[in-house]
Structure 1
Amino acid sequence: MLRYCALLALLFSSVTLSAPQRDWQLVKSEQDITLHSRKHSDGLIEIRAQMFTPTSYSAFINLLEDTQHVPNWIKSVTGIRVLTQISPTENKVHTIFNAPWPAKDRDMVTNSRYFFDQGAFKLHISDASNTLPTQDGYIRITKVSGEWTLQQLSNGTTHIEYLAFADPGGALPKWLVNKLSIDSVFNTFIGLRRELAKYQDQVNPHVVKLAREQGLMQ
């Protein structure tokens, strides 16, 4: 069963892909990782992170499916379970993670689906909070929306872009939530790049099948 939705623990930061590029402000550029943010209507920010790294689409999904190793690269994840496997490429998932003191722990219910779109590999994330009752001891993260886009280039590297927004709920100050969003995504990208190298020789049959249906090599 696919369990790639571990990445949803990143979402502490609606994705509007058509919005003007000038709305984005550079907030961090280190170790070949670039982060931009822009204000959201409720005072929180959206995050856009980008980097170039040598990887395949199969390696990316295989890493995300390996939930036992999620703590190696996604900060604060403490548990993930697949609620419903809708198809080989689409799941409904419940994610739990530890929030920094004095905040309460959070949980999140999301629907995720990966596919190819105009030659790019995408993983789309949407909120599914109403499909699972709230859990004792956790504050539910809502308004979740995100998208990963991977594009393999002719020089052997892959451009990875991540766009995300979510409302962590509770009474956390907006400035603190925004800071945690930036720090969390940056550190996760560092871990993502490091861990991807361990999965380069593994083929994901569902990704390969999708690529072949699009006439793409994988």
Structure 2
Amino acid sequence: MSAQSVNIPDDRAFASFKAECLCEEGWSLTYNKGPTTVWTHGLEEGKSVHKIKCRMVCKDVSAETMYDVLHDTEYRKKWDKNVIETFDIGRLTVNADVGYYSWKCPKPVLNRDVITLRSWLPIGRDYIIMNYSVKHAKYPPKKDLVRAVSIQTGYLIQSQGPSSCILTYMAHIDPRGSLPKWVVNRSTHYFAPGAMSKINKACLKYSEWKQRHNPNFKPWLYPEQTTLPSIPLSELSIQRAESLENIDESSLAETQERDDSD
């Protein structure tokens, strides 16, 4: 995609994302336990840009269910304990929209938010969901949150049969600010594996939940169902990291806090 303007990813962009999800060359293995593996790429102390890749084998979740769970904004509000606020802003095409997401960071690090252009594509029985940061005039940075930048983030879901799949999450982000080393370490050894586990648990409970919450409403599968307003690309621009305030949190000391394991 162009570095100068907002574009909706094409087939080549999806193919490139999938190839990077599957490639291990240049990545450093940092965690490998049970069904979950985590790699990092070029993480350097003092550098603000982070690149992490997580892969989880889900033996009891179909690719179709995983795809639904990662799309369903209303369900995310239930299972994602780190979410502060998330909503869709508008649609661009049948497989692309713009949305807002804010999340809790480990104290005393400031919480973050992001506005992204998200696109998705089924490829046979596999699926890709990916996003990158954009600017929208109606949703400027907030005073109490740090606006992060997604350079390219997303999921690759590979079907392994009727009731199993492999989920790969890859994030290339600039959280804006020099994060403490302990945050980077915890993200690779604790936060990322924990987040993958929570996604898996959310998938196991999704069918029952969905039956009680508008069970036939899946606009990511049936675009004619969408209630989002259509927005033109001209309302969006690339979110550049250098245009945002740089917050130096590198000296913040780690605090003890118990994460919700449910």
Partners of 1:44 and 1:158 lie apart in 2 by: 29
Is the contact made by 1:105 and 1:139 (CA closer than 8 Å) also made in structure 2?
A: yes
Residues 86-165 of structure 1 mapped to structure 2, 5 A cutoff: 86-117=92-123, 120-129=126-135, 132-154=139-161, 156-165=163-172
Is the contact made by 2:48 and 2:179 (CA closer than 8 Å) also made in structure 1?
A: no
1:38 aligns with 2:48: no
Report the residue type matching 1:133 in the other structure: P
Counterpart secondary structure, 1:186: helix
Larger deviation, residues 113-122 vs 198-207 = 198-207
Choose the corresponding residue for 1:191, options 198, 205, 226: 198
- Structure 1 residues 159 and 110 mapped into 2: Cα distance closer, same or farther (>3 Å)? same
Q: Can you list the C-alpha shifts for 1:142-182, whole angstroms capped at 9, x where unaligned?
A: 14311211111247421111111211113423x23422432
Partners of 1:97 and 1:85 lie apart in 2 by: 22
1:3 is matched with none
Identity of aligned residues (%): 16
Q: Aligned-pair RMSD on alpha carbons?
A: 3.0
Counterpart secondary structure, 2:20: coil
Partners of 2:77 and 2:91 lie apart in 1 by: 23
1:84 aligns with 2:127: no
Report the residue type matching 2:147 in the other structure: R
Structure 2, unmatched stretches of 5+, are 1-16, 211-215, 224-262
**What TM-score does the superposition give when structure 1 sets the normalisation length?**
0.74
Counterpart secondary structure, 1:21: coil
**What TM-score does the superposition give when structure 2 sets the normalisation length?**
0.63
Choose the corresponding residue for 1:167, options 171, 174, 193: 174
Partners of 1:118 and 1:66 lie apart in 2 by: 21
Counterpart secondary structure, 2:194: helix
Partners of 1:19 and 1:153 lie apart in 2 by: 15
- Structure 1 residues 197 and 18 mapped into 2: Cα distance closer, same or farther (>3 Å)? closer
Counterpart secondary structure, 2:85: strand
Is the contact made by 1:26 and 1:36 (CA closer than 8 Å) also made in structure 2?
A: yes
Report the residue type matching 2:134 in the other structure: A
TM-fit CA distance, 1:61: 3.4
Number of residue pairs the alignment of both structures matches: 194
Partners of 1:200 and 1:94 lie apart in 2 by: 25
Report the residue type matching 2:35 in the other structure: D
- Structure 1 residues 69 and 206 mapped into 2: Cα distance closer, same or farther (>3 Å)? closer
TM-fit CA distance, 1:57: 3.7
Choose the corresponding residue for 2:52, options 34, 42, 47: 47
- Structure 1 residues 133 and 205 mapped into 2: Cα distance closer, same or farther (>3 Å)? closer
Is the contact made by 2:157 and 2:166 (CA closer than 8 Å) also made in structure 1?
A: yes
Report runs of 4+ in structure 1 exceeding 4 Å deviation: 200-206
Is the contact made by 1:72 and 1:191 (CA closer than 8 Å) also made in structure 2?
A: no
Partners of 1:149 and 1:20 lie apart in 2 by: 12
Partners of 2:167 and 2:89 lie apart in 1 by: 27
Partners of 1:206 and 1:73 lie apart in 2 by: 19
Choose the corresponding residue for 1:207, options 221, 225, 228: 221
